[in-house]
Amino acid sequence: MVKVNEAERAIGLFDSGVGGLTVLDCVQQILPAENLIYVADTAHAPYGDKSVDYICERSQHMCDLLIDREVKAIVIACNTATAAAASVLREQYELPIIAMEPGVKPALAISKSGVIGVLATAETAHSKQLDDLVSRYAGEKQVLIQACPGLVELIEAGETDGNKTQKLLQRYLQPLLDAGVDTLVLGCSHYPLIHQQIQSLVGEKIELVETGAPVARELQRRLSKNNLLNSASDSGKVQVFSSAPSTQLELIFEQITGAKVLAERFE
């Protein structure tokens, strides 16, 4: 039996930093009535160069923080945390946990050349999760995985349009372009924040695949199945927490949502 007020509880989302805000944006568009709590582990970002055990520990800490605030579901708004910790979290917690995965399947479906590229953090690039996706869906098609160390750090620092980001992107993208990819998977929630920069380098003929909207739709499906959708007519409220001061987090939140927010600290 669902409690009367349970559907009004917030949905929790967490990421290592600002990247998960791209997922929050998709959730707000698809589920505008939902209250949201976003947790950024800024003090420990990025996750891409951390060990699996470390990522699991931090992910559990943020889930505990969200559960203390009585969320009704948790979204792992981070590909790296999904690859490292999703299975562990689902074993530990009873509430719905919606995770991300690189959009390999949809990218393969739209590719005409049969060659797609996946941009990911080092941890995601070498994860069993991504390996399983490729094995399950690639068939005769080719999936080229490009680890992108350093890219998340630049995005977190707000250097999305700087020369460093441009040069790093060129370095990571050129081998994929030389191999004939016609579709690119943005396999990290941070990368949609530099969608335009990537598109300008690869050209308009190359399709970019993001995963925020599919995650939001899966969240909608799970909440509906459990009678947990918020039926309020007003727009939901958003709270933001960060493990370190981050003006970049507040700036990107405003750029994405059009609203101002003050990130509260957590340890």
Task: Give catalytic residue positions.
Answer: 78, 188
| CA dihedral for 81, 82, 86, 89, sign (positive or negative) | positive
State the Cα–Cα distance between residues 80 and 135, nearest whole angstrom.
Answer: 19
Residue 88 CA: distances (Å) to CA of 91, 178, 234: 5, 38, 35
The torsion region of residue 202 among left (phi > 0), alpha (psi -120 to 50) and beta comes to alpha
Q: From CA 13, how far away is CA 256, in angstroms rounded? A: 16
Contacts of 240 (CB under 8 A, 6+ apart): 37, 38, 39, 40, 249, 250, 253, 261, 262, 263, 264
> How many residues belong to the chain?
267
